[in-house]
A and B are shown apart, each in its own frame.
Chain A
Amino acid sequence: MAGTNSDTIGKAHPDLEQIIKIAIMAVGGQGGGVLTNWIESLARTEGYHCQATSVAGVAQRTGATIYYIEMAPASIPTPVFALAPSAGDVDVLIAAELAEAGRAITRGFVTPDRTTLIGSTHRSLAVSEKTVPGNGVAPSEEILAATEIAARTRIMADMEAAAVSVGSVISASLFGALAASGALPFPREAFEKAIKGSGKGVDSSLRAFAAGHDLALNGEIREPETPSAPAVSNAAGPEGAMRAWSTLSARIGDMPEPVRELALAGLRKVVDFQDTDYGLVYLNRLEEFLACDHASREFRLSRAAAKYIANALAYDDVIRVADLKTRADRFDRIRDEMRVADGYSMRITEYLHPGVDELIGMLPAKMGNRLDKSETWRKRIDRWFSKGRRIRSDRLFGFFTLYCLGGLRGWRRRTFRHSVEMAHMDRWLGTAREYLPDRYDMAVEVLNCRRLIKGYSDTHARGQTKFDRVLSAARLVDQRTDGPQWMARMREAALKDEDGKALEGAIRTIETFTEERQLETA
C-alpha cells in the first residue's frame, strides 16, 4: 500500500531542505521513546547532527504522545533545530496506531508536498470508543482514505501484528519500515547497527525490524480470496436428529437467496441452543414474515426476522452459559488465544454471579411466576443463593457442575425464563405484524429494535426498558412517512449511552413535534 502524491510548494530558505524532520505519534506505552533513541543514534553514527525532543509527561500513561527529531548533515555548522513539529513542515511522520495517523493528519503534520507517512493500520481503541453500549469504534476506512490524499508517500500496514508475531514490540517493526521507506539517507545495516548498539532485546528487535522492513516493501500478503464462498457448516449428530436437520435445512434451500445466509445462521444458532424441534419453531415464525415479503423490497423484513428471531429464541440463560463454557472447542480456543503450548497446564477460573432473575428463571414456569411477583421471595433468594461464584472449570468438580447445568436443555422449555421470553417475543412479533402489509418499513424497524436487548441481570433489564421505550414511542410516529427513520434514530440513540439519556432526548424531540401537530389540528 504505497503511493505518491507529487506537487511541491516551494518557499523558505533553500538550505532548509537539508534538515530532515521526523515526528513520531504514538500511544503511551508503545515504545516511542525507544524508536526515537534508535533514530537518534543512527543519525549520529552516520555523521549527522541530530536533536530529539518529547513531551511525554503523564501522556506516557496510555495517552497520545509525540516525539520529534530533526537531523542535518555534519557539513552544516551548528544547525538550529526546532523543538516541535509544525503543520506542513514534517518530512517523515511515523504513526504507531491508525487513529494516531488520523490525529497527525488533523494536526497538519502530513502534507502531500513532503510527508512520507509510515503508519500501522492496527487499532488501539480509545476509551470513548469502547464505552458506547453499541458500536462506537471510529471508522478506519475514513482515516485510511485520508492518508491516501494527505501523504506524499505512504506505507500503511499492520506493524503491530508484524512485531507481535515475532515476539517483539511495534517500535522495532516501524524502525524497519522507516529503513525500507528510503526516507533517510542511510543503508539498512546502519539501522540494524543502531538496534545492536542499544543492547537490549536485540535479537527480537532485529526480527521485528526485518518483519517491518519486508512488510513495508511487499505490502500485506493477503490470503487468496475464496470466490464468495461463505463458510459452510458441516452438521453432525445422531441419526434421528440429523434427519430432522436435513428436513429443516431443506426448507431454507426453498427460501429466496437474500434470506438464506441469515436464515441458515439463525437456524444453526437455534438448534445449537436447544434442538431440532426448536429449529422448527424458528422456521415457522420466520416464514410468517417471509409470506408477507417481496423481492422488490430486497427481503429486508425477512432478513431482519431471520436475524432477530434467532437471537430472541437463543436467549442467554444459565443453561446456555454452562453449555458454552463446557464445550471442547472453547477449551481449544482458550489454549490458542492464551498461547498455551502443549505440555503446559492451564488453570481456568470462571467468574460467575447468577442474579435473582437468572435463578428464578430456572424454576418451573408457574412457580417462577409466583416467586418473581413476590418481593419477599426475591429478596430471600437473593440472600440465599446470589453470590459470586468462582468455578475452576479445568478441574473435574467445577467442570462437572457446569456440565450438569448445561445438560438441563431438556428442561429449558418448561422454565419460567422460557415462558417470559416467549411471551415477550410474541408481543414483539405481534407489534411488527400489525404494521403489515401497509407500513412495511415500520415492521422492519420494530424487528430491528431487538438489537437493544442484550446482557444479563441489570444490563438485560436496562435493555428491556429501552426496547419498551422505543416500541411505545413508535406509536407517536407510526403514521408519519418518516416514522421508520425516527425509529432508527431512536434505536441508535439508545445504543449511545448506558442511562438512555440520548434516547430520552430523541423521544422528547418526537413528543414536541407530535404535540405541535395536535395543536395545529385542534
Chain B
Amino acid sequence: MAERSFKAEVEHLRKGKGETFTGEGILAITKALLENGVGYVGGYQGAPVSHLMDVLADAQDLLSELGVRFAASANEGAAAAMLGASVHYPIRGAVTFKGPVGVNVASDALANLSSAGVTGGALIIVGEDYGEGSSIMQERSYGFAMKSQFWLLDPRPNLPSIVKAVGDGFALSEASNSAVMLMVRIRSCHVTGNFECSDNQPPPLSVRDALSDPRSDFNRVVLPPMSYVHERDKVENRWPAAEAFILENRLNEQFGPKDGKVGIVCLGGMYNGTIRALQRLGLSDISGNTSIPLKVLNVAYPLVQSELLEFCEGKDAVLLIEEGQPEFIEQQLGAMLFKARSPIHLEGKGCFPKAGEYTGQVLFDGVEAFFRKHAPDLLPGQILAPNQPKPEIPDLTSTVPIRPPGFCTGCPERPIFASLKLAEKELGKHQIAADIGCHLFAALPPFEIGGSTMGFGLGPAGNAAFDAGGERRAISILGDGGFWHNGLSSSIGNLVFNRSDTVTVIVDNYYSAATGGQDVMSSRAKNPTKSTNNPISKALEGVGVKWIRQIDRTYDVPRMRETIREALTTDYDGPKVIVASSECMLNKQRREKPLRTAAIREGRRVEVPRFGVDQDICTGDHACIRLSGCPSLSLKQLDDPLRDDPVAHIDQTCVGCGNCGEVADAAILCPSFYEVRTVHNPGKVESFLSTLATRLRTALQNRRKARRVTFSMERM
C-alpha cells in the first residue's frame, strides 16, 4: 500500500460529461487516459509521477469495469516494453516513469518500439525531474526523442492543456505510427486547477480480447533487413505524417499579434513563466493577452520548419526560451534559419544561462535582457530607469543552515549506517558504493557513507572493479527497491558470477520507500492484486549467494555492527550479503498510529515508547547526534550559568525506535539515554505492583534526601 491513499481521488476518476475535475496535474492526466480509451497502463513510480501509479493502484475496480489492464512494472524498461502491445494491435497504451533516469532504463525498449512503429497510440508520460526539488542528475529527456524518433509533447502547464495533450498524443501517435512522449515538468505534475470532464471510454479493443485474435508480422521485427526499412520509414513517412498532423491540428499555439519587431518562441512548459515575465515587464495582462508575438511549442519534437520560419518572417529578432542543456531546439532553429538565409537575430542561451532551471527571476532577467538589446522602446520607463534603489536587506547566507533531506524520525536505516560508521571507526575507512533510495541520505552528514551512485540497483555493480578483494573489502549498499528493480541480476548476479570478494548490505524497509511507499516483491503486506512476501534472502540463495546474513531488527546496533565486522573479516572469499530488514517508520506509523489510538480509546492496554536524555548527565558533546541525525534528537540550551554548550534533547515527535539508546550503548557514549514506556490502561495487578514500587522508591529517596544538603530552586 502506498504512503498516500487515493480513495477520494478515485471517485473523481468516475466523473463524466458536464462535471468539473479539480485537483493535481498528474491526476488530471490519469483521468484523461480513461477519457481517451486507453487499453492498458504501466509504469514505475518516482517523483513526480508516483501519484499516477498510486491512484491507478487504488482504482482497480474502475479499471476492471472499463476493461483496462494496469501493471506496476518491475522497472522502466519493463514499463516501456509493455507498449509492445500497441505494435500490432490497435490498442492505446500508456506508461509512465520519471525522466531522464527512467528514460535511461527504458531506452532499450523505447528504441525497439520506435523502430518497429506502432498501430495503437503509444504514450510515454515522463515526469521531468529538473530544477528545484529534483533528486537526480540534471539532464534532459529530449535527446532520447531525437535519437529514436519518437515525438515529444511539452504542453502548457495548466490542466485543460495537459488533458488535451493526452488526447493529442494518442492521435499523433496513431497518425504517424510513432510513440509519443508526453513530458510534464515537476511543477506541472503538482500544479492544481480544474478542467471539464468527458465520459470515460472503454477501449474499443481490450487487451483481453486481443488475445483471442493474436497477430504477428515479421516486417515489424527489428532484424535486418527490416530494421533498415524502419529507419527509412521513420524519416520518409512517419516524420512527415507527424508534421502534417501537428500543423493540421494546430498543436502549437500562437498568442499576441501576428507581426511585430521581435517575437518569442517558448516551449509549452515554459509558457506560464514567460507570461509572468512579460506581465512584470508590462507587456501582458493577467490573462496572458500579450502585445508581443509569442509562439508556444506544445510539441517540442519534431519542430515543424515551415511553421517556425513563418513566425520568424519579417521580425528583427526572436528569443527562444528553452530550459536545460544542450540547447537542442536553438541548434535546430538556428540551422533552419541559416539554410533559409534569414537575417533575423536568434537569441536564446546568452540572454539566458546555459545551465540551470529557468526560475521566475531567470526568465524575467532573460526576457528583459532580450528587450533591452533588440526592442528597448517596448519596455516601460520604470523598467528602463528604475527611480528607486532596491532596499538593503541583511545577508543571511552564512547564518541560515543548509537543510538537505535526511532520514525520518525513527528510520530503520539510521542504525544500519550508525553500525557501519562504528565498524569503520574500528576497522578503518572502506571503499563504499551507494545506490539510489532513501539510504542514499547516508552519504550526507552525519554519516557521510558512500561516495558514488551509478544508478538504481547498481550499487554493488558500481564496486565491481574492486571485487577481487584487497586489504579492506569494498562495501556496497542496495535497497529493496533497487534490488527488485534490476539489482538482482545487474548487481547480485554479477557478484556471484564473478566470485566477488565484497560485502553488500541490502537495506530492506518493506517498501519502495523513497518513491512513496509502494509495495515491492518482498513487502510484508498482503496486497490483493500483487504477489508480495517473496523474501530477498530466498532470491539470494536462488542465484547462488552462499554467505547471507538476515537481520530482522536493524535497531539492534551491536548485532548489526558485529555482522558487518564478520562480513569484513571472514575468510570466505565469495560475495557476502547482509539483508537488514525493518519496516519504514513513516509507513509503520501511518499504519499503526490509528490502531493504537483506537486501542487506547477502547480501554485496552497499550505501551507507548519514547526516549529521553538526562540533561544533568549529558555533557553536551553531541557524539550521539553524530551517529544518528534523528530529527527528534535535537539540542536544548540549559538555564545553568555553569554550562557552555547545549545538551541533547529528545522532543515529543520521538517514536521510540531506540536507535539513540542502542548507539549510546554500542559506541559506549554516555549513560544519558533512557526509554520510557507509558502504559495506557494498565491492568490491576500491574497498577498495584507499580504503586508499590513507587512507594518503596520514594521511601529510599526520602531517606537519602534527609542525609544530605539538597537544593530546590525558586524564583523570588
Contacts and interface: CB of A to CB of B under 8 A. Distances in A.
Interface stretch (B78-86, B256-264, B636-644): B636-644
Contacts of A81: 272, 276
A18 to B, nearest CB: 6
Given A61-B438, A86-B276, A403-B700, A395 B135 contact: no
A353 B715 contact: no
A74 to B, nearest CB: 12
Given A11-B383, A53-B190, A457-B668, A89 B360 contact: yes
Nearest to A12: B280
Given A126-B401, A326-B701, 13 more contacts: A12-B281, A57-B47, A58-B47, A79-B287, A88-B390, A102-B400, A103-B400, A127-B446, A130-B629, A131-B446, A145-B394, A149-B394, A352-B665
A321 B623 contact: no
Given A28-B405, A58-B405, A89-B360, A77 B287 contact: yes
B332 interface: no
A63 B404 contact: yes
B559 to A, nearest CB: 11
A46 interface: no
Contact of B288 (A19, A80, A83, A241): A80
Contacts of A112: 391, 393
22 contacts: A29-B631, A55-B134, A61-B405, A62-B406, A79-B288, A124-B631, A129-B401, A131-B445, A133-B622, A146-B394, A232-B713, A232-B715, A236-B709, A266-B642, A268-B711, A275-B708, A330-B616, A345-B682, A345-B687, A353-B669, A454-B619, A454-B620
Contact of A346 (B276, B626, B640, B678): B678
A385 B604 CA distance: 40
Interface in A293-311: 307, 310-311
B536 to A, nearest CB: 23
Contact of B276 (A53, A82, A407): A82
Interface residues of A, number: 153
A232 B712 CA distance: 8
A331 B690 CA distance: 14
Contact of B407 (A62, A399, A400): A62
A405 to B, nearest CB: 11
Contact of A344 (B401, B407, B673, B680): B680
Interface string A446-462: 00000100111111000
A520 interface: no
Interface stretch (B369-377, B569-577, B606-614): B606-614
B465 interface: no
B709 A407 contact: no
Contacts of A325: 614, 617, 671, 674
Top 6 nearest A-B pairs (CB, nearest first) are: A55-B133, A86-B360, A63-B405, A454-B619, A237-B709, A351-B661
Interface string B75-118: 00000000000000000000000000000000000000000000
Given A52-B191, A60-B405, A338-B612, A451 B709 contact: no
Contact of B386 (A9, A83, A330, A352): A9
B287 A340 contact: no
A241 B708 contact: yes
B129 A57 contact: yes
Tell me whether chain B's interface is mostly helix, strand or loop, or mixed. Answer: loop
B607 A347 contact: yes
A512 interface: no
A349 B674 contact: yes
Contacts of B390: 9, 88
Interface in B369-423: 380, 382-383, 386, 388, 390-397, 399-408
Contact of A80 (B276, B382, B629): B276
Contacts of A82: 272-273, 276, 360
B388 A9 contact: yes
Contacts of B693: 394-396, 399
Interface string A6-39: 0101111101101100000001110000000000
Contacts of B622: 130-133
Interface string A62-105: 11111000001000111111111111110000000001101101
Interface string B678-716: 111010001100100100111011101111111111111
A139 interface: yes
A408 interface: no
Given A236-B712, A348-B675, A454-B619, A56 B408 contact: no
B617 A106 contact: no
A379 to B, nearest CB: 15
A229 B716 contact: yes
Contacts of A394: 690, 693
Interface in A393-418: 393-396, 399-400, 403, 406-407
Contacts of B187: 53-55, 83-84
Contacts of A124: 631, 634
A367 interface: no
Contacts of B193: 51
Interface in B648-687: 652, 661-662, 664-671, 673-680, 682, 686-687
Given A126-B403, A237-B710, A131 B625 contact: yes
A66 B157 contact: no
A132 B625 CA distance: 9
Q: Report which residue of A13, A325, A327 has the largest number of chain B beta carbons within 10 angstroms of its beta carbon.
A: A13
A186 to B, nearest CB: 18
B305 interface: no
B397 to A, nearest CB: 5
B56 to A, nearest CB: 20
A518 interface: no
Interface in A100-126: 100, 102-103, 105-106, 108, 110-113, 124-126
Q: Report which residue of B273, B361, B633 has the largest number of chain A beta carbons within 10 angstroms of its beta carbon.
A: B361
A344 B679 contact: yes
B679 A63 contact: no
Interface string A428-448: 000000000000000000000
A388 B661 CA distance: 10
Contact of B646 (A64, A135, A142, A339): A135
B645 A135 contact: yes
Contact of A316 (B617, B625, B674): B617
B282 A12 contact: yes
A76 B701 contact: no
Nearest to A61: B405
B558 interface: yes
A84 B359 contact: yes
B48 interface: yes
A420 interface: no
Interface in A161-184: 164
A59 interface: yes
A271 B395 CA distance: 48
Given A130-B625, A327-B701, A351 B394 contact: no
Contacts of B641: 261-262, 265, 307
B679 A345 contact: yes
Contacts of B22: 44
A54 B712 CA distance: 51
A86 B277 CA distance: 10
B646 A137 contact: yes
A127 B629 contact: yes
Q: Report which residue of B157, B187, B280, B401 has the largest number of chain A beta carbons within 10 angstroms of its beta carbon.
A: B401
Contacts of A311: 642
Contacts of A454: 619-621, 645
B407 A269 contact: no
B191 A83 contact: yes
B148 interface: no
B11 interface: no
A509 interface: no
A313 to B, nearest CB: 11
A238 interface: yes
Interface in A234-273: 234-238, 241-242, 245, 261-262, 265-266, 268-269, 271-272
